[in-house]
Amino acid sequence: MNRFAILCAVALVAAGPALADTSRPPVDYANTQLSDPRQEAQAKALMEELRCLVCQGQSIADSDADMAGDMRALVRRRIAAGEKPDAIRQWLIDRYGDYVTYDPPFDWLTAPLWLTPIVLVALGLLLARRSLKRRGRN
């Protein structure tokens, strides 16, 4: 019985990645370009600016996640309907929050994201200056 339980557990763990893929077909426009090259260029540029909420490290243009496919389809459908990319981007930010964009706005919540690199560079320059002054004295 113990061996059977271990064998079943190993089989379930091994089957996990195979079960992770969805069996549903991709949404229209998820992987199909728009017929108008200008509109497709607008959609592609917007998709590069939007973060996949599942993968988090990829844009929706690069992600294979189902949600990213849904978001690509939404972007293409709205662009094809004549909506401006900025309006679509704002709608997605209103729906999912600032996290959906790689360029969050500057406000009190995101200030540490914007200010930390500046503070670290200033601190590094200050330490380098002090170190060089000490070497000059010796």
Q: In which band, very low, low, confident or very high, does the pLDDT at 14 lie, cut at 50, 70 and 90? A: low
Confidence of residue 23 (pLDDT cuts 50, 70, 90): low
Contacts of 27 (CB under 8 A, 6+ apart): 69, 70, 73
Whether pTM > 0.85 for this model: the answer is no
Integer-rounded Cα Rg, in Å, for the chain is 24
**Confidence at 104, pLDDT banded by 50, 70, 90:** confident
Residue 106 CA: distances (Å) to CA of 33, 97, 111: 33, 14, 6
- The Cα-based distances of 117 to 5, 86, 110, 120 in angstroms read 52, 27, 13, 5
Residue 40 CA to residue 129 CA, distance in Å, equals: 50
84-97 pLDDT, tens per residue? 999 999 999 999 88
Domain ranges, ordered by start, for the chain:
2-104, 106-138
53-72 burial, b if ≥16 CB within 10 A, otherwise e? beeeeebbbebebeebbebb
- 2-104: CATH homologous superfamily? Cytochrome C biogenesis protein (1.10.8.640)
> What band does 110 get if pLDDT is binned at 50, 70 and 90?
confident
